[in-house]
A and B are shown apart, each in its own frame.
Chain A
Amino acid sequence: MKLGVLALAAAAVCAGADLTVLPGHVRVDPFGQITAADRGAGVAPARSMVVESARAAHVSCRLVVTSAAAAAYTLSVSGGVEAELFREWFHFLPKSKAYIVDALIPVALPAAAQLPAADNKVAGQTAQSYWLDLWVPANARAGAEKVTVVLEAGGQKSAVTVEVRVLDARVPDKDAVVMDHNAYGTSWFGGQYPGLAKKPGFYLSDDFFGLIHAYHRVYYEHRGVFHQLGYGHGGKVGEEFAPRLEGAGKNRHVADWTYYDKHYGPLFDGSAFAKTRRGAQPIPYVYTPINPEWPASYLWWGEPGYEREFVNVVGEMEAHFRAKGWTKTKLELFFNHKKRYKAFEWDGDETRFPKDFERFREYQRLMKAAMPAGSPVEWVYRTDASWQMERQFKELAGVINFWVCGGGMFGWYLEEGLERKKQGDTVWIYGGTPPVARPSSHVTKELLETWMLGVDGFVRWLTVAPGADPWFQFQGGGETLVYPGERFGISGPLASVRLKLERNALEDLALLETYSASKGAAALRAEVARRYNGTEVKDWHAPRPRLADGDPSEWTNADIGEAMPKDARFDEKLDAGAWARVRAYVMELAKEGRR
């Protein structure tokens, strides 16, 4: 027996190099230690792992190669499950002087590499981690599949195994909640893709539109939605976001659709996603370029010419979409400007003063004038609400039908928001993205909150801004879930560990939702809350405070902050293993379902 154990240990260690496996939610540093934020999960590196999975789902784990001495090695993966391997980049966080993984660099299998990794420039690096994605297709056979990962270094081999127990259950295509990822314009391409952008004529080239589509694709492949606003606070539209217009007043019209169609055609007919696992599907939502300065000039606001310019062009847009068959995407009438930026006299976004509501009503009137009755082209009227949310729910009911509400404050008006949903409106909430230094489970909190509240989606307000130097002077990643791939010869975004975790949680949640009918939605929510962080469903929304009875135009941010309950279970006490416990519950339900 002793001999057997010794042989087993020797098998995993070759020439001083070692290979272990961890669940995806437990990260390591470049010295082989579990990242401090994830230690609460109570998981240690192992030689083997057993995971359960539904079909049409991903299973992920982390492989860790360690070697005290410099080593060249190869990693190969074999088995009956489709595998993708990604090297994890160690980002240096100057504030804490710590390294943490997030960006995922695709590597071809078998992977040949060196430790230390020269490009990552970590002094004394003794460990390199890899994210392993295993795809269990919808037609996979139920039963056990073994995946073997072999490390070869110094002429010796060692291996770890991942046993995937495939269940009968299938993750549905439709998500329980929409996770939306927001961005603004394309000017940031220049900073993030300097090699591409310096090519003459890059902007508006095929490479340019290809890059835009690549951003949509990376989020789509991770069960997310990508939004990219195409106009500024002063109303300037990017030529890639709007058709070119000519003329004024009664003569204003669309002169050229070329760039608009190059941008949006593949997104509206789904062909931009043709080679993905999820297949070609049109994007569900899109910002339109409509703003107070486009298509009508604000010079004529309140005068006949404004209406004529607006109705002419929006009417042409409707006809163009109808002719192209672009009728599966909801086109958003959405105003992003704020009066504090001094270009317009009313707040389109996070409206602070009720006197501005009249502007929303006027644009509804204009839209009705522009749209022919019975059009198959679907427009939605979106507003992002915070200060005046409660009053907007009441006074703009029937005007706005797509509500994107400040996440924390939404809890105060939960009943009113759910009433809007009951009336057929779409209701999302919005907020940020947990930075990398938080425990890994924090990236699942927003999607779970959305589901707990019973609303339709969550917007991460900015998800493409990794900062000036995410590689060696990282500011934390609170405004990104992807990274520019140009450094690694890839003309597109790299996914992150957090995006993978978000995707996996979305898959679990989609499956969980299928048990609502048999188990009862309330019971599911109660159990998920208990397992995730020891809470009850009622803890997931802030109760209405006394402050809400006052005039929101008198509130300060500090007032709002003080009115929000503080609960460490959603913050510093939320451990890295939180989602793993939810997933275990989903798998239990899946197995029950089989019985």
Chain B
Amino acid sequence: MRVFVLGLAMAAAGFAADVQFVAEAATAMVDGELVKQIQTAKSAASMLKKDPRDPWAASDNYDVNHGPFVAVKKSLIRLSRLCPGPCDLNLWMPLAGAPGKVQVVIRNRHEISQFWVWGALTQDMFPEMARVLASGERVTVRKRAGMVSVLTPVRDSLDEIVALVEVVLQEKVDPQENVQ
């Protein structure tokens, strides 16, 4: 039994190391200048407004510029092919003008994340993400059973951290999950 548990722990450690490698590559490859161009200015402004008549206004107005979105998404897909199993790279950005808020900006095929709440346009900043955005450290997160994420910073041409990538891998994939 102990041998089995040790084996699992070793496998999990190897898993995390693989994800760590993909995260390092993500920091190197994802272009922070492009990332900043993804959301349209009008959409970004709409996210800061509260419409008492329409709680869905920000979602309905959510919009992106096709070119930067596609370019960054392609980088994320390409990087995901370095993972040892099915994984997603999710792009997260702090919400400009709303301290303490974060939004996922690009998700991918398996729709897995340890942070995203399905359908949420914005979320409160997670401490792990705040740490990455402030320090540039890579942070490994194991909040949900069977999942490991590495949060890694994304920098622009001024070497400012403007976003982060969540490289997330699920140890056991549920084929029916997120098919909806």
Contacts and interface: CB of A to CB of B under 8 A. Distances in A.
A347 to B, nearest CB: 9
B113 to A, nearest CB: 10
A352 to B, nearest CB: 6
A63 B70 CA distance: 61
Interface in B81-100: 88
Nearest to A190: B176
Interface band, chain B: 35 or more
Contacts of A293: 109
B157 interface: no
Contacts of A558: 51, 53-54
Interface in A231-286: 231-239, 241
Given A236-B111, A297-B77, A355-B66, A557 B54 contact: yes
B77 A342 contact: no
B37 to A, nearest CB: 12
B74 A299 contact: yes
Contact of B57 (A186, A187, A189, A557): A557
A232 B62 contact: no
Interface in B41-75: 51, 53-54, 56-57, 59-66, 69-70, 73-74
B107 A342 contact: yes
Contacts of B127: none
B54 A556 contact: yes
A532 interface: no
A230 B176 CA distance: 9
Contact of A238 (B60, B69, B176): B176
A342 B104 contact: yes
A231 B109 CA distance: 10
Contact of B179 (A230, A298, A343, A345): A230
B73 A298 contact: yes
Interface of B, secondary structure class, is loop
A150 to B, nearest CB: 47
29 contacts: A184-B179, A186-B179, A187-B179, A203-B176, A229-B180, A232-B178, A233-B107, A233-B178, A234-B107, A234-B109, A236-B178, A236-B179, A237-B179, A241-B179, A297-B77, A299-B78, A302-B70, A339-B63, A339-B64, A340-B59, A340-B62, A341-B107, A343-B108, A343-B109, A345-B64, A345-B69, A352-B61, A557-B60, A558-B53
Given A298-B73, A340-B59, A231 B66 contact: no
Given A234-B109, A340-B62, A343-B106, 18 more contacts: A184-B180, A187-B174, A187-B179, A230-B179, A231-B179, A232-B180, A233-B178, A234-B88, A234-B108, A241-B179, A297-B77, A339-B63, A341-B107, A341-B119, A345-B64, A353-B63, A556-B60, A557-B60
A234 B110 contact: yes
Contacts of A343: 106-109, 111
A346 interface: yes
Contacts of A299: 74, 77-78
A210 interface: no
Contacts of A488: none
Contacts of B104: 342
A189 B179 CA distance: 12
B151 interface: no
* Interface-central residue, B70, B119, B178, by most chain A CB under 10 Å: B178
A184 B118 CA distance: 15
B179 A238 contact: yes
B121 interface: yes
Contacts of A184: 179-180
Contacts of A339: 62-64
Contacts of A353: 63
Nearest to B56: A557
A232 B179 contact: yes
B159 interface: no
B42 to A, nearest CB: 9
